[in-house]
Amino acid sequence: MIVVTGATGHLGNVLVRRLLQLNEKVRVLVAPSEDVKPIEGLNVEIFRADVRDSKAVERLCEGAETVFHLAAVISIFGKKRLVYDVNVNGTKNVVEACLKNNARLVYVSSVHAFAELTKGSLIDESVPIDPSRVTGCYARSKAIATNLVLDATKRGLDAVVICPTGIIGPYDWRISEMGNLFLLHLKGRLKVAVEGGFDFVDVRDVAEALVLAWKKAKSGEIFIVGDTHVTVKALIQMLQKIEPKRSVKIFLPIWLAYVVSTFASFGHLSGKKVIFTPYAVYTLSRNYVYSHTKASKELGYTPRPIEDSLKDSLEWFKSSYRFEPKVAISAV
């Protein structure tokens, strides 16, 4: 039996679908008040509990062969305590439950957990995981949690860590930041974007990497899972080629984007979805090149072309949504 936390998230629901394709029996952790639409109709056992509840997590993992731990909080709006409680303490609970049940753990961290280097640097698995050398509470929490998992392997935990880059692709039920960008493009409402770039990877490829790591990776290993670095301008040009719409005419320089994004971020207080945040601008400005060579060589990981991911994303959103996205500003 396989356990998946964070199963209703973008990556989580795609991973669950992949595990079911492999005829695995799947139990999923769902928070008490969480909407299960992303996994609605799937043949899974739903276990409602909070990942911060150690006793509940222990019961969740009883009889599990493998636990895929994806549950996390991503926030830049003053929820540092919640981010830490879920991302660090929740991971600690999962680690202890796996140790008690002798279950293999596949932990999903983030490339943001790696220590920050100079702009434009190559980031691979040789870069240290150092909470003191990252920016923001989310990155710090993932760095701390990653070290917690790796340290536990010295106590006998059978665990592997996967660090995805920027996830895109279909089945984006909760509408991620990039998903909202795709919706804005489909509505012809993308007017302003920022300079910079990032590495984007298809959610289905990340899910497959998790399965490959589960089956092939040695305990204590860490893998970066990405695809290719692409500038914001090039990405929007690809969207325009796939689905021509009225599109971006202005690309803000980084310094100006910081100013605009600071004001735009206040939109979250009114319930509007914000995709143009100071942290997003910061991330795009770093222009890191992430290497997935290790995952390719050791796991057989092969990501699809980003153009295919963009096309499938747009097609999925067109078939799944019939509303205008709520945004504070039409920008990346």
Is the domain of 238 the same as that of 255? yes
Is the domain of 159 the same as that of 112? yes
Closest CA to 168 of 311, 63, 264: 311
pLDDT at position 332, please? 29
Residue 245 lies in a domain: yes
pLDDT at position 264, please? 58
Residue 151 lies in a domain: yes
Determine the average pLDDT of the residues in 239-253: 86
Q: Which two tokens stand for residue 329?
A: 């500003």
Is the domain of 72 the same as that of 126? yes
Residue 330 lies in a domain: no
Region of poorest pLDDT, from 111-120, 249-258, 271-280:
271-280
Is the domain of 212 the same as that of 150? yes
pLDDT at position 194, please? 82
Q: Which two tokens stand for residue 23?
A: 């005829």
Is the domain of 275 the same as that of 205? no
What digits encode the pLDDT tens for the residues 138-162?
999 999 999 999 999 999 999 999 9
Q: Which two tokens stand for residue 211?
A: 């399965």
Q: State the pLDDT confidence band at 77, using cuts at 50, 70 and 90.
A: low
Domain boundary among 210, 227, 244: 227
Other beta carbons within 10 angstroms of residue 80's beta carbon come to: 15
Please say if the pLDDT value at position 263 is more than 80: no
Closest CA to 258 of 284, 233, 234: 284
Region of poorest pLDDT, from 42-56, 219-233, 244-258:
244-258
Please say if the pLDDT value at position 37 is more than 90: yes
Is the domain of 247 the same as that of 279? yes
Domain membership of residue 257 as a residue range: 171-198+229-288+298-320
Determine the average pLDDT of the residues in 268-285: 67
Is the domain of 13 the same as that of 160? yes
**79: domain CATH number?**
3.40.50.720
Please say if the pLDDT value at position 229 is more than 80: yes
104 compared with 278, residue with greater pLDDT: 104
Handedness of CA 8, 10, 12, 15 (dihedral sign): positive
Is the domain of 188 the same as that of 204? no
Q: Which two tokens stand for residue 188?
A: 């012809």
Is the domain of 263 the same as that of 121? no
Q: State the pLDDT confidence band at 121, using cuts at 50, 70 and 90.
A: very high
330 compared with 58, residue with greater pLDDT: 58
- Count each helix (H run) and each strand (E run) in the chain, helices first: 12, 14
Residue 126 lies in a domain: yes
Residue 325 lies in a domain: no
Residue 28 lies in a domain: yes
List b or e across 155-189, with b for residues whose CB sees 16 or more CB atoms inside 10 angstroms.
eebbbbbbbbbbbbbbbbbebbbbbbbbbbbbeee
pTM given for the model:
0.92
In sequence order, the 6+-apart residues with CB closer than 8 A to the CB of 325 are 175, 180, 183, 184, 187, 189, 273
pLDDT at position 325, please? 42
Q: State the pLDDT confidence band at 120, using cuts at 50, 70 and 90.
A: very high
**247: domain CATH number?**
3.90.25
Please say if the pLDDT value at position 249 is more than 50: yes
Structural domain count of the chain:
2
| Ranges assigned E (strand) in the chain | 2-5, 26-30, 45-48, 66-69, 104-108, 122-123, 159-164, 166-168, 192-194, 197-202, 222-225, 228-231, 250-252, 289-290
31 compared with 265, residue with greater pLDDT: 31
Is the domain of 194 the same as that of 234? yes
pLDDT at position 283, please? 86
Residue 327 lies in a domain: no
Diameter of the chain by CA atoms? 56
pLDDT at position 269, please? 44
Residue 133 lies in a domain: yes
Other beta carbons within 10 angstroms of residue 28's beta carbon come to: 26
Domain boundary among 227, 244, 265: 227
Is the domain of 182 the same as that of 83? no
Label the pairing between strands 197-202 and 228-231: antiparallel
270 compared with 285, residue with greater pLDDT: 285
Is the domain of 20 the same as that of 162? yes
* Gap between the Cα atoms of 325 and 184, Å rounded: 7
* Gap between the Cα atoms of 77 and 236, Å rounded: 27
Closest CA to 310 of 167, 190, 108, 192: 167
Please say if the pLDDT value at position 305 is more than 50: yes
